[in-house]
Structure 1
Amino acid sequence: MEKINLNQGWKLHDSPLYWQKEKLEAVRAFQDGWLTCDVPADVRMPLIGNGVIQDPVTADHCLESEWVEKRAWWFFKEFELSGLSGKTLELVFEALDTKSDIFINGQYAGSHRSVHYPFVYPAGHMLREGRNEIAVRVSTGLEDVTDEQLSQLNWAVCREDDNGGKYRSDYRRAFVRRPQYTVGWDWGPRVVTCGIVGDVYLLSCGKAVIRDVEAKTRLHGDTAGLTVTAEVESLPMVSTQTCDIQVTISYEGECCAASVLKDQLLTSGMNYFCLDMEIEHPRLWWPNGYGEQPLYRISVEMILDDSSKEYREITYGIRSLKLDTSPMGGEKRKFQFYVNDVPVFCKGGDWIPNDSIYARVTDRKIEKLLEEAVNANFNMLRIWGGGLYEREGFYQLCDRKGILVWQDFMFACATYPDHLEWFRREVQKELDYQTRRLRSHACMALFCGSNENHWLFNSQDNPRWQVAFTREQPLGLYISNVLAKKVIHANCPDIPYWNSSPYGGKLPNDDSCGDVHRWHNGFMSQDMEERIEPVLYDEVRSRFVSEYGCIGPCCVESICEYMGTDKVERSGRAWEMHCNVFERDSVYAGIRKHYIDQPERLGMEEYALYGGMFQALVLGYSLEAMRARMDCFGALFWMYNDTWGETGWTVIDYYLRRKISYYAVKRALAPIRLVMRRENDELVIWGLNDTNAAAQAEGELGYVSFDGRVRKLKPVIFKLEAASRKCVLRERLPKEDYRKGSIMFLASGGPEESVYLRIGDIRTLEYDKNSIEVLQTKQTGHYTHVTVTSRGYVHGAYVKGGYSCSDNYFDILPGEIKEILVENQEKHALHFGQVR
């Protein structure tokens, strides 16, 4: 099988929206107004490149290009072909956004109405030797949705006053299989995408082709049993042929197992060959922090009776995975993942598309984000259901980096018309394609039916969105409750499935069962104190928190970049649009509670600093609190990455700069961590060890004054078993002045960090500003090793200048010695600041 790439050299023109496919020749006749582009391309990309529009992620320019969705867009590509004799040709568009008509050499080839699975067409009868042309008409698909259709869904779709704000949202999205977020969300503008947004190529095939290779693992003792299934399509329509099939499993170039099927009969159409193989002493795949991620190569070679060959290869991680939902007593049930029979506390964030114009997201951007996730000690990402199934390279990188993937199906915050047969057919094709594509990835931990559909539309939390679900009109729940389960059972029964997020219990979002989204008793509470008080997260009683969050600003450099000016005022339409819809002055309130009065008067540098520290405080504290709950088995915060720049949920901003909160999350998710809390009059310490090796936390524990003069310490050693979480100390809290000092654990070496018990808000603590003393600096390649200390307590010590560091915006306890690594290729002198 040969792939002929058709990504380069396309022409683009627009037309009135009512011009349908019969207008192909009229568009081709245009003399002026043509743009050129390569694909993947959203139509805005060449429009930006040619100065027709400004980038919609900057300032409020998204409003200036809304006209784009009110036009039809026509792509044309000419190319040469030769040597077609005896070949079967297929035209593949990996992704089209969204309503599309495809033409080959002027002939209509077909239509497509979903971005979530490819358009594949047997094109040999339309192609010819020499010059060929492909044309595609694309529109958003929203134009076909009527009010009459929306009334079938009771208009139950997140709308302006619910989720999007003044410039966002669109009821019609529920009828269109497009990325739902593109009509606008609380964290992103309305930029309704349109274009050829995936690769385009021809597949030139001989007499047979290997369509798919699937692998399944059975672990028993020190042996891995693998079943490898090769799906082979024999292309002659009425004749049989024969072949040999050889499967080889290798690791780092060394063959571990091989098997051959000789003289196999191929009948017309699909054929399936299953081979059972064993690997002694397999190298097991582990999530990040628990071990390594060895990947085997499984290669399938087919030799046909005419001596032609076909070859297909996949990488594969050997591991077992299960989701335990067994009873815990009363109404409580577990929601706990096990990998290779080891319990895993799932920690990480929710993943959204990386740009309002997602077609321009580079492979390097995705790789950088996953590198940063690993660096922040993530072992899971949840792919949110209002965006996109990510490209293949994303899942391959998750395999390599040990990031488990909770994969939502692409339905979010809406009722959906699954009572209509055409819609069910579209969704079935989508789910079948995606589950087959992803099922052999080691990273795949769970498929999930939707984001918030069960909760929002049958929940006491949202009484005005109450809708009546019936078997005749399930309003989207047939997809999650029936169709998705049938597809999973047929394609990948070993991968756990969950109906929605959140889901479980008598009503979705029940603490006793399944996963929860902690919003109404968190940052979306009507009570401002609940939005900004981290201590409330000690009250979490959920089995698995898959969404919750806190809002904070980006650094000043990013703020200036997305506002499009160096002189930014925190007012006006553009500033409002780049502040999350749910911000609602919460950042000011958080600064006021934890740091200083009158935050509205702060300059931009101070706003970014104090606002970032507020977000860091809430996220860091809350993640520790949930990890320290022995009956909580996962914590994923909303959200990890950004689709444009804003004062918002993320810890990595749109420009891939770390926010202050990134470092707090990294510390809170450290594989080995002590968490210290006050419970009534008791001091309680939990020991967390998210590794497969036993460890111990050794140091001194006791009361230390913030000026370092009072030190009532005793030596302690806390032994931490592998892959464990437990209470390692519970004792009466001594009577001390906790405004002027605290209980501190000063680590004496090893992987654990020094920690202290914070009683009260930061601004209520009584301590003087203490100087940061640099004990040593040493340059190694591009990195500067810096060792610092302070005689007294320092809050929020940071390296000035926006450097990427192993740790930053950290506290220094009195007398603590701390070493950090600073990426400093230019070998600049480093200077420290602190928050007070």
Structure 2
Amino acid sequence: MTTSRTLHAGWTLTALSDEVSIAGVPAQVPGCVHTDLLAAGLIEDPYLDDNENRLGWIGRTRWAYETTFAWAPDGHEHTDLVCEGLDTVATVILNGAQVARTANQHRSHRFPVRHLLAEGDNTLTVVFDSAYDYAEARRAAVGDRPGAYEEPYQFIRKMACNFGWDWGPTLVTAGIWRPIALESWSGARLAEVRPLVTAHAEDGRPAEGRVEVHVRITPEARGPVTVTAEVAGQVARAEVPAGQDRAVLVVTVPEPALWWPRGYGDQARHRLTVTLGDQEWSRMIGFRSVELDTEAFRLVINGRPVFARGVNWIPADCFPTRITRELLAERLAQAVDANVNLLRVWGGGLYESEDFYDLADTLGLLVWQDFPFACAAYPEEEPFHGEVEAEARQNVTRLTPHPSLVLWCGNNENIEGHADWGWRETLGDRTWGAGFYYDLLPAIVAELDPTRPYWPGSPYSGAPGLPPNDPARGTVHIWDVWNREDYRHYTTYRPRFVAEFGFQGPPAYATMRRAISGELASDAPLVLHHQKALDGNGKLLRGLNGHLPTPSTFDDWHYLTQLNQARAITCGIEHFRAQMPHCMGTILWQLNDCWPVTSWAAVDGDGHRKPLWHALRRLYADRLLVLTGETVTVVNDTDRPWHGELEIVRRSLTGEPLAKETVTTTTPARATTRVHLPPTVSTPTDPAAELLTARLDDHRTIAFYTEDTHVRFPEARYDATAERTGDGYTLTVRAHTLLRDLALFPDRLHAGASVDDMLLTLLPGETATFHITTAHDLDTDALTGPPVLRMVNEARH
């Protein structure tokens, strides 16, 4: 029998510093120093203005958390202090006796403490040393290593982006960030359950499911004990003899309902229950098989290749204890609503919470999990090697039940950094992480989770001696676009799998207005503080060149740079999807933000969907028409053939047909078809005054023969009316002239207002209807014109 008692009440926070006079502040556990100081009114919100600049002292201070709790003998033989997450350099003290020292945010700890407990009041103290002091001391001991930033994040096993990134603030945290509890038991305890779940499918139909349940008990039993595993009505039992602590139970389930990624089938899950006496461990599992075709780099689920319509995921808040299940549910729903089917958990963050993976399981979102190493050469000496092994073993074991997890990846960009960023010249013979990525981590995955593939890093071409960022092999990261090249450069690539690529745009107006109290101008100091990329706003402006008008006001800058972000990603994803099955995945950098910032995200730090999100929903739809001046590629990522009459029309800007071609097309399931356009429609008489439309069933796409800066757009004329509806407003726009990339920004009127669609191009005579969701009254006149209602040809005048 086991009993557990959380120790989350009565904590106080004290600074152990002669320079900082903070003592006895009420503290939230789980939590962190920053959120406790913010709740106490002792610091300004680090997400607002440039408050971040004045809070660096927090990460360089020692802090003590302390609580008192009552305890009485409970009749059990053993009592452990279970710390699920300590961030990061912690000394645990119970009743004045040191229990342990830890230095790894990514792992949990269990300490026997019964001998230290006293009847009555007990005092538990957790002292956190400065993460900076620890990391800098380790750097001095093992020698410096190169990285993308000057901060010493590679010298401590902690969320790297706490030390700042090109989209995130420098807010180095400390605290008891996951639950802490006392757990008591007698006899044998169910210490670990590791289910390895597989399925054998024939032609996509289930034949047999198998669960190999690895169980560890502790301490060694004095007599034999029986462990039972049950799933889908099938039961297996094993007797663990005295003196042993492990058992393997195999449960076979005939013809189980399979778990599929969204778009391929249902997300069937089954409850697996493991019992030892009166102890019970229970999780939802899913039967499915996973393969990685390394020759083509494609994921194969239940025998079926899956095109990854992916997004990269960063921690949803700089302070992880604020990341609730409700927040995760909102973000993952936004991913699903944008037709995403894969999340890559990026290596500069965390192994995410159980809620994250459970939601992914439920929604059918595949998860690619990086081990937490990013953009730096990492030392392999002790204590790092032991800590990395311990955290990897814990988290690989913890995550085995989740069918959504389909790939373990060794790191983000470290192999590329060693090969291409000049690291070898500065490293000499010092370690840089190769032993982790090529030896330790694959061995752990092979031992503990052979049901899932492992890939050493991203980008990576399949072997240590190959150029890691070769588009022809493995995974590629494309960052010459954004950093140097125009976004049309995407079309020069023929990649196998694009694991990172992106283009920046500012957050929603409401997000900027909430976070920035001063002037909103593209070059205003506080606006620039919320832009962490090197020369980020300069690149935003240069990225408009040749594509869109040069903005003369902040409102124009905001709309045009958001639009250009969507245009750039449209160019990339359309080009990559048109190459299916040669290319079998795109993972956009990035879905989400952790604070209010100009970044590559589709959803900003306050949860507002940027124009990019609306573009992504179309780009990641099951069916897509990719129209260039010379071809139409029909992309059919469904299980049904797509057959119909493809209509291609060359038109004047007034919408008048100038030439028309109709082609009967059939595109098989999960395939593409390329239709070459005859000169009658591919060659305009006047590129500045014509456009091209393609329609197949209810799918239509529009392309122009030249860039917007050369198109002779008419002055925008339209009728717009707004009326109250049950949960907001309906806005109807009827075009009298061509309206290019019509967008609506109701958050300018109220931060909570959102719109259901955006970036629509209307031909003369066409109508678009937008639904605005809000509980607040909005000015209907303001809804029908700038800066709320925008279009490219309005921005030109």
| TM-score (norm: length of structure 1) | 0.86
Secondary structure in structure 2 of the residue aligned to 1:754: strand
Q: 2:690 aligns with which of 718, 741, 763?
A: 741
Alignment correspondent of 1:297? 271
Q: Is the 8 A contact 1:451 1:502 kept in 2?
A: yes
Secondary structure in structure 2 of the residue aligned to 1:421: coil
- Work out whether 1:278 is the aligned partner of 2:253: yes
Alignment correspondent of 1:22? none
Alignment correspondent of 1:524? 483
Secondary structure in structure 2 of the residue aligned to 1:595: coil
- Work out whether 1:511 is the aligned partner of 2:464: no
Q: 2:703 aligns with which of 722, 745, 757?
A: 757
Using the alignment, how far apart are the partners of 1:116 and 1:782 within structure 2? 43
Alignment correspondent of 2:740? 795
1:689-704 paired onto structure 2 within 5 Å: 689-696=636-643, 700-704=647-651
Unaligned runs of 5+ in 1: 20-29, 160-168, 250-256, 327-333
Using the alignment, how far apart are the partners of 2:286 and 2:229 within structure 1? 20
Using the alignment, how far apart are the partners of 1:238 and 1:310 within structure 2? 15
Q: Is the 8 A contact 1:154 1:467 kept in 2?
A: no
Shift of 1:244: 5.4
Alignment correspondent of 2:53? 63
Q: Is the 8 A contact 2:288 2:301 kept in 1?
A: yes
Shift of 1:772: 4.3
Using the alignment, how far apart are the partners of 1:47 and 1:775 within structure 2? 48
Deviation per CA, 1:314-344: give whole Å up to 9, x if none: 1112222211123xxxxxxx11111222221
Alignment correspondent of 2:172? 192
Alignment correspondent of 1:24? none
| TM-score (norm: length of structure 2) | 0.91
Secondary structure in structure 2 of the residue aligned to 1:661: helix
Shift of 1:620: 1.7
Alignment correspondent of 2:750? none
Alignment correspondent of 1:490? 447
Q: 1:216 aligns with which of 197, 216, 219?
A: 197
Using the alignment, how far apart are the partners of 2:590 and 2:18 within structure 1? 36
Greater CA deviation, 338-347 or 392-401?
338-347
Q: 2:211 aligns with which of 187, 210, 228?
A: 228
Using the alignment, how far apart are the partners of 2:428 and 2:299 within structure 1? 31
Deviation per CA, 1:690-734: give whole Å up to 9, x if none: 223333465632112221123533455533322223324554424
Using the alignment, how far apart are the partners of 1:693 and 1:354 within structure 2? 36
Q: 1:539 aligns with which of 470, 479, 492?
A: 492
Query: Counterpart of 1:216 in structure 2: which amino acid?
Result: V
Q: Is the 8 A contact 1:233 1:269 kept in 2?
A: no
Using the alignment, how far apart are the partners of 1:748 and 1:579 within structure 2? 42
C-alpha spacing 1:568/1:498, structure 2 compared with 1 (3 Å): same
Query: Counterpart of 2:570 in structure 1: which amino acid?
Result: G
Alignment correspondent of 2:339? 377
Pairwise CA RMSD: 2.7
C-alpha spacing 1:129/1:37, structure 2 compared with 1 (3 Å): same
- Work out whether 1:556 is the aligned partner of 2:494: no
Q: 2:459 aligns with which of 483, 493, 502?
A: 502
Alignment correspondent of 2:16? 15
Using the alignment, how far apart are the partners of 2:221 and 2:668 within structure 1? 63
Alignment correspondent of 1:636? 587
Q: Is the 8 A contact 2:197 2:288 kept in 1?
A: no
Shift of 1:151: 8.0
Q: Is the 8 A contact 1:12 1:73 kept in 2?
A: yes
- Work out whether 1:259 is the aligned partner of 2:249: no
Alignment correspondent of 1:106? 96
C-alpha spacing 1:772/1:667, structure 2 compared with 1 (3 Å): farther
Q: Is the 8 A contact 1:458 1:466 kept in 2?
A: no
Q: 2:390 aligns with which of 420, 429, 433?
A: 429
- Count, aligned residues: 770
Deviation per CA, 1:372-398: give whole Å up to 9, x if none: 011111111111111111111101111
Q: Is the 8 A contact 2:741 2:791 kept in 1?
A: yes
Alignment correspondent of 2:68? 78
Deviation per CA, 1:445-484: give whole Å up to 9, x if none: 211111111111222xx236645575xx432110011000
C-alpha spacing 1:149/1:397, structure 2 compared with 1 (3 Å): same
- Work out whether 1:667 is the aligned partner of 2:624: no
Secondary structure in structure 2 of the residue aligned to 1:458: helix
Shift of 1:56: 1.5
C-alpha spacing 1:368/1:7, structure 2 compared with 1 (3 Å): same
Greater CA deviation, 486-495 or 194-203?
194-203
Using the alignment, how far apart are the partners of 1:625 and 1:353 within structure 2? 29
Using the alignment, how far apart are the partners of 1:219 and 1:558 within structure 2? 48
Alignment correspondent of 2:712? 766
Using the alignment, how far apart are the partners of 2:19 and 2:221 within structure 1? 44
Using the alignment, how far apart are the partners of 1:776 and 1:68 within structure 2? 49
1:348-367 paired onto structure 2 within 5 Å: 348-367=310-329
1:648-659 paired onto structure 2 within 5 Å: 648-659=599-610
Alignment correspondent of 1:312? 281
Q: Is the 8 A contact 2:370 2:411 kept in 1?
A: yes
Using the alignment, how far apart are the partners of 2:258 and 2:164 within structure 1? 42
- Work out whether 1:823 is the aligned partner of 2:784: no
Deviation per CA, 1:629-688: give whole Å up to 9, x if none: 23211111222211221222111111111112211122111111111123xxxx211111
Greater CA deviation, 714-723 or 290-299?
714-723
Q: Is the 8 A contact 1:676 1:685 kept in 2?
A: yes
Q: 1:406 aligns with which of 359, 368, 371?
A: 368
Q: 1:574 aligns with which of 526, 542, 546?
A: 526
- Work out whether 1:97 is the aligned partner of 2:87: yes
Using the alignment, how far apart are the partners of 1:456 and 1:359 within structure 2? 32
Shift of 1:405: 1.2
Q: Is the 8 A contact 2:482 2:543 kept in 1?
A: no
Using the alignment, how far apart are the partners of 1:213 and 1:619 within structure 2? 40
Q: Is the 8 A contact 1:782 1:827 kept in 2?
A: no
Shift of 1:115: 0.2
Q: Is the 8 A contact 2:260 2:267 kept in 1?
A: yes
Shift of 1:145: 4.3
Shift of 1:573: 4.1
C-alpha spacing 1:769/1:292, structure 2 compared with 1 (3 Å): farther
Q: Is the 8 A contact 2:199 2:207 kept in 1?
A: yes
Using the alignment, how far apart are the partners of 2:254 and 2:120 within structure 1? 50
Secondary structure in structure 2 of the residue aligned to 1:125: helix
Using the alignment, how far apart are the partners of 2:672 and 2:411 within structure 1? 31
Shift of 1:128: 3.9
C-alpha spacing 1:730/1:344, structure 2 compared with 1 (3 Å): farther
Shift of 1:758: 2.7
Q: Is the 8 A contact 2:230 2:251 kept in 1?
A: no
Q: Is the 8 A contact 1:229 1:272 kept in 2?
A: no
Shift of 1:362: 2.4
Alignment correspondent of 2:291? 322
Query: Counterpart of 2:456 in structure 1: which amino acid?
Result: N
Deviation per CA, 1:431-456: give whole Å up to 9, x if none: 11111111221111211111111111
Q: Is the 8 A contact 2:483 2:539 kept in 1?
A: no
Alignment correspondent of 1:719? 666
Using the alignment, how far apart are the partners of 1:698 and 1:786 within structure 2? 32
Using the alignment, how far apart are the partners of 1:98 and 1:494 within structure 2? 31
Alignment correspondent of 1:253? none
Shift of 1:817: 5.5
Q: Is the 8 A contact 1:344 1:690 kept in 2?
A: no
Query: Counterpart of 2:184 in structure 1: which amino acid?
Result: S
Using the alignment, how far apart are the partners of 2:539 and 2:219 within structure 1? 66
Using the alignment, how far apart are the partners of 1:794 and 1:697 within structure 2? 28
